[in-house]
Structure 1
Amino acid sequence: MATDAAPTPVARTPVVDRDVPRAAAPAPPAPPAPAPPPSDRGWGVPLAVLIVGMFMSVLDISIINVAIPTMQLDFGATTDQIQWVENGYSLALGVVVPVSAWMAAKFGPGRVYNLSLLGFAAGSALCGLAWDLNSIVAFRVLQALPGGVLPVVTLTILYKIVPPDKIGAAMGMYGLGIIVAPAVGPTLGGYLVEYVDWRLIFFINVPVGILGVIAAVMLLPRFGPTPVGRFDLLGFLSVATGLVCLLLALTEGQKWGWTSYSIMILLTVGVLGLALFVVIELEVERPLLNVRVFKHWAFTNSLMLVSVLSIGLFAVLFYIPLLLQQARGLGAFDTGLLLLPQALVMAVIMPTAGLLYDKIGPRWPAAIGLAIVALGTYMLTDVTLESSTEHVVWVLVLRAVGMGLAMMPIMTGGLSAVPPDQVDGASAFNNVVQRTSSALGLAGLTSLVTYSREQFSLDRGLLVSTDTPMPVLAPGATGEMAGMYAVYQQTQTIAFVEAMHSLFIVTAIITAAGIPLALMLRSGPSKPAAGGPVVAAH
């Protein structure tokens, strides 16, 4: 027995090494497997679910414009006070958009999307229940917090569920929310305000939001969180301060005076805050937004082009209704109906532009689209008090063709130049640039309109001598005063139309200036990177 036992310890070691499988031994848990690349199956329905939710948040930006005068009467507010219903929303967006990408990575884009959609529906319900000016402004801020997150996280999920070679077509559908929603807003809002109740423009979001969340839970793929580290508090404070100061200066510059101390201080703090943000993001290990995405020229170029298109889009969407209502005397709903054809045209053109992008790249759709937008904007200078409504509609439709052709290829070409792991931050920058450039452009063009209108009115007033006969609209002094007032009103209206022409000329020049930048975009379809997903060729 002793001789048999002696070899046992000698033989044990080789037996264990050779015959016992390693998998039987305890091992540390394996890291999570990387997410599979997007499949070509089943992305259309999930994308439609995403677009409905995002469409609702973008629609709310423009739909409220036609309700502002009615809300002003209901709440007994001044023009300056009621403007905070929109200003508060814009300022809140400036705070929440930069943190949207971090939230999507930290908690998972699907979860953030669902919570944001519910939050937006809840904020909309509160807006519909508002009882005075202070409550509607506060509730609009609450509504903007989830509303600013939705477009960013939607774009993040889009890039996760859509195959890279189908990104152009998918972005064409995504663009329905970015561009078509603001164009549809005045029509829907005008009908609700004129024939139902302005509160319904908010209440309508509640069932849509609830149904959207149910559809998202059932149809969207599950995406877990990704490691993002600690929240970059300093970066957030600097970018939020910078954006809020800039947006406040841009929205109040006309009223406070562009050279006033308040505006100059806000602009200075805003620029310094954004500069500090860049410095912080270059130094921290895990930045809130990776500013190094600007090293990719195609992405930086696309942001400049997005700025050009945003200025042209929102300036015309804001001032054409004013021109139709104030100068031509149309009602809110009738004005909305005249704007509807351009929205329908963009709804058709944008998916087509996405297919073109997949086939030929962004260069030629963008350049041709910008040229059409510039031409159509310049043609608006022919619109006068005597112009037919059909002429106005056809010019707006021409602009819509160019806008629909250019916007999504430009955005998609820029985002495709960014590495896949940086798309979240790039989409956040995209939304920040859209909001800021549209606010900046609208503020600058409003100053132009105000100055031009005053100058044209003064010039026309000087042409009227003291002995010029005035129309008499009734017997006696009252009729003479009414006639003088009618002449004054007509002069002011003509001056306003001429100021609009100045705005259209400047906007056309800005749009045309983007054509050389569009010619620098990539031409040709995307090419696959070795061993990885399809990446845009530069």
Structure 2
Amino acid sequence: MTARPETDAAPRTAPDEPAHVANGATVTSPRPAAPAPVEEPPAPGVAAGTATATPAPTGTTNWVVALMVLVAGMFMSVLDISIVNVAIPVMQNDFGVTTEDISWISTAYSLAEGVIVPASAWLGLRMGLGRAYIVAMIGFAVGSVLCGLAWDLNSMIAFRILQAIPGGVIPVVALTMLYKIVPKDRLGAAMGMYGLGIIFAPAIGPTLGGYLVEYVDWRLIFFINVPIGVVGTIAAMIYLPNFGGGKRERFDLPGFLTIASGLFALLLGLHEGEDWGWTSYPVMILLTYGVLALATFVVIELEVEKPLLNVRVFATWAFTNSLILIAVISAGLFGVLFYIPQSLQINQGLGAFETGLLLLPQALVMAVIMPLAGQIYDRIGARWPAVIGLVIVAWGTYLLRDLTIDTPHSELAWILAFRAAGIGLAMMPIMTGGLSSLPPSRVDGASAFNTVIQRSSSAIGLAAMTALMTAQQSQGYADRAGMMPTDTAGSATTSGSTSSMLGEYVQQSQLQSQVFDTSFGDLMLVTTALTAGAVLLALLLPSGRPAPSEGPRIME
């Protein structure tokens, strides 16, 4: 099947030149009674002669339909990350476990996903991108069913690990396929729609999860993936190409072991740093090993003939710069999504669904802005949408510094929506500009790096914010300890007065709220400075209308 050619597509060049590139393999246009053209050497990591044996298929299909299938899969896999966090307290009560134990439901998923993502590009090459996507969708739906049926904490952790394996494959394969089926001059609009799965899903998660947890049953946060998975799988079988597959590439085992173990160690150390102590031996060993393992991975990938991931993509500054900016945005997004609900529920006593409704406007703003941002990219490039968007994010983050328990909910919703507009405007142009700077043969590995950066930067950013918040709160409690009345507890004990005990409780609650608000304000100032620095990097992004498509992308 072939995508309908755009009217402004560039004409084909010489008769013997390739008609297009699909999955890094050269496909020539069939010509009757003419000798077969000389085949050019395949791109690195692509088996020779794989796609050239079959002439270009006939018939046309709208690439937008295939894009919608990919968006559905991405939405399902990313939504699961944020929606589960809302149900953690309820699951803790049902399973009868401690807060530290229940946190492994999220930790186990992150660790397993970090291990599988580096191998996703190889799996797509080995199985075929379309087939790998379908298998991952089915696997994710099955894993979701098992999680919904979990009977205790151990079974839930085991099923979350099984769910994370296909959950790590979906974003890498989906992004690679998007780049191969969408004409280059429409990538911005396509990425704007694709971004609904990356940014809109975690923003809408607290609202949907809050309603299910508060009014229905927490198990539905997993079962809701089943109909999406079934419909998405059927649509993928009908509309998605496979892009070949069956390439018996040698698996880079040393590279996989170093990057998988390195990411595992880093993520585990960051997740447990607050509980184990940031200067404790286990955390220091994990972080040190993680850094050394990742450095070893780079050395291995530069030497082996068939690398698991081509680290030479980092030699392209536009791509490397885009990853830095994506890391800054992801860290800030997930940090705010974590601490704002915590403040609303702990300090203000809001329920899960009420909190989700307050966060809903920012999700709706992203849903509107992101497709528009993609169209803007197609017209003027990545630089100015990214710069303007990051300026808005920095300004919105600065406004959050004065957040207190007395801040009107309408004002908070407006600030979050304003900040979300900046994220929606900047995120997809940055990602699209980075990927577009690479040759098609390197998109597979670049997609894996993109997913690794998004996931790891969220974890690293949240861990850094937690460490800063903890230090600030400890200092805040110490500074205010001398201001508390020293005879409050004694008077309550001596007189047995209920009013005295109530007064002590009120004072402690006020102190907790004040310390949290002050610490959160300091955290927002640091995040503002970091985002402002990212604006300078955004000025280095490519500008101008992207080059027109080299012709229709052909879907096998």
**TM-score, structure 1 as length reference:** 0.90
Counterparts of 2:124 and 2:227, CA distance in 1: 24
Deviations 1:361-394 (A, max 9, x none): 0000001101100100110112211111000000
Long gaps (5+) in structure 1: 1-20, 24-28
Give the alignment of 1:22-171 within 5 angstroms.
Answer: 32-33=51-52, 42-171=62-191
Long gaps (5+) in structure 2: 1-32, 36-47
**Equivalent residue in structure 2 for 1:210, among 213, 219, 230:** 230
Counterparts of 1:377 and 1:37, CA distance in 2: 51
**Do structure 1's residue 448 and structure 2's residue 481 form an aligned pair?**
no
Shift of 1:519: 0.1
Shift of 1:199: 0.3
Q: Which amino acid aligns with 2:465?
A: L
**Equivalent residue in structure 2 for 1:425, among 445, 448, 454:** 445
Higher relative contact order (CA 8 A, sep 6+): 2
Counterparts of 1:39 and 1:272, CA distance in 2: 51
Give the aligned CA root-mean-square deviation in angstroms.
Answer: 2.3
Q: Which amino acid aligns with 1:149?
A: V
Deviations 1:166-193 (A, max 9, x none): 0000000010000000000000000000
Shift of 1:53: 1.2
Q: Tell which structure's C-alpha radius of gyration is larger.
A: 1
Identity of aligned residues (%): 62
Is the 2:322–2:434 contact (alpha carbons within 8 Å) kept by the matching residues of 1? yes
Shift of 1:110: 0.4
**Distance change (3 Å), C-alpha of 1:413 and 1:477:** same
**Distance change (3 Å), C-alpha of 1:243 and 1:367:** same
SS of corresponding position for 1:527: coil
Is the 2:50–2:244 contact (alpha carbons within 8 Å) kept by the matching residues of 1? no
Deviations 1:201-226 (A, max 9, x none): 00111121111101111122342117
**Do structure 1's residue 506 and structure 2's residue 549 form an aligned pair?**
no
Counterparts of 1:92 and 1:407, CA distance in 2: 26
Deviations 1:411-466 (A, max 9, x none): 00000011101101001000101111111110011011111112222222222343
Give the alignment of 1:470-509 within 5 angstroms.
Answer: 476-509=496-529
SS of corresponding position for 1:286: coil
Q: Which amino acid aligns with 1:324?
A: L
Structure 1 residue aligned with 2:414: 394
SS of corresponding position for 1:169: helix
Is the 2:137–2:232 contact (alpha carbons within 8 Å) kept by the matching residues of 1? yes
Give the alignment of 1:93-492 within 5 angstroms.
Answer: 93-225=113-245, 227=247, 229-466=249-486, 476-492=496-512
Deviates more, 1:205-214 or 1:353-362: 205-214
Deviates more, 1:220-229 or 1:123-132: 220-229
Aligned residue pairs: how many?
506
Counterparts of 2:530 and 2:452, CA distance in 1: 20
Normalized per residue, the structure richer in helix is 1
Counterparts of 2:312 and 2:491, CA distance in 1: 67
SS of corresponding position for 2:497: helix
Q: Which amino acid aligns with 2:154?
A: N
Counterparts of 1:365 and 1:116, CA distance in 2: 33
Structure 2 residue aligned with 1:3: none
Structure 1 residue aligned with 2:26: none
Shift of 1:22: 11
Is the 1:63–1:188 contact (alpha carbons within 8 Å) kept by the matching residues of 2? yes
Q: Which amino acid aligns with 2:378?
A: D
Deviates more, 1:203-212 or 1:116-125: 203-212
**Distance change (3 Å), C-alpha of 1:429 and 1:267:** same
Structure 2 residue aligned with 1:13: none
**Distance change (3 Å), C-alpha of 1:263 and 1:40:** farther
Counterparts of 1:220 and 1:528, CA distance in 2: 24
**TM-score, structure 2 as length reference:** 0.87
Shift of 1:301: 0.4
